[in-house]
Amino acid sequence: MRLRPTSARALFRAIAVIEALTWVGLITGMVLKYGPAQNESGVHLFGPLHGGAFLAYLACVLLVRSAFRWGRGLTLLALVCSVPPFASVVLELWAERTGRLDPARVRAAAGADGAREPIGA
């Protein structure tokens, strides 16, 4: 499946934020579980939600890779950013600021002959 760059960018932004918010819930749940409260309900709620958001982020990175013609290095960096808390949002902000999520850049890179060269490192 290949998304238009504008759709891929919006989806990537939303999934990155959702993944980070589920990190907040999971970390809060872990504090409640292992803290004085000894309450596991936060982990039971946010564990599966975060797992789903994590998998959605990984899939979204692959869609964005295709839509924006990211190279291997940038794709690997984006996949690695799924592991540390909140790194998905940091990567999304960085990619936006550096033009790696710019639909115009994709059109310009395609050129007149429609070549598909990787964009970004």
pLDDT of 54 strictly over 80: yes
pLDDT of 92-107, one tens digit each?
Answer: 999 999 999 999 888 7
Q: Is the CA virtual torsion 97, 81, 90, 16 positive or negative? A: positive
Give dist(CA 101, CA 68) in Å, integer: 7
Report yes or no: 51 and 78 within 8 Å, Cβ to Cβ.
no
**Can you give the pLDDT at residue 30?**
93
Longest dimension (CA), the chain: 64
Give dist(CA 27, CA 35) in Å, integer: 12
Residues 64-76: what's their mean pLDDT? 95
pLDDT of 37-51, one tens digit each?
Answer: 888 988 999 999 999
pTM listed for this prediction: 0.84
Please enumerate in sequence order all residues whose Cβ is within 8 A of that of 48, keeping only pairs 6 or more positions apart, or say none.
none
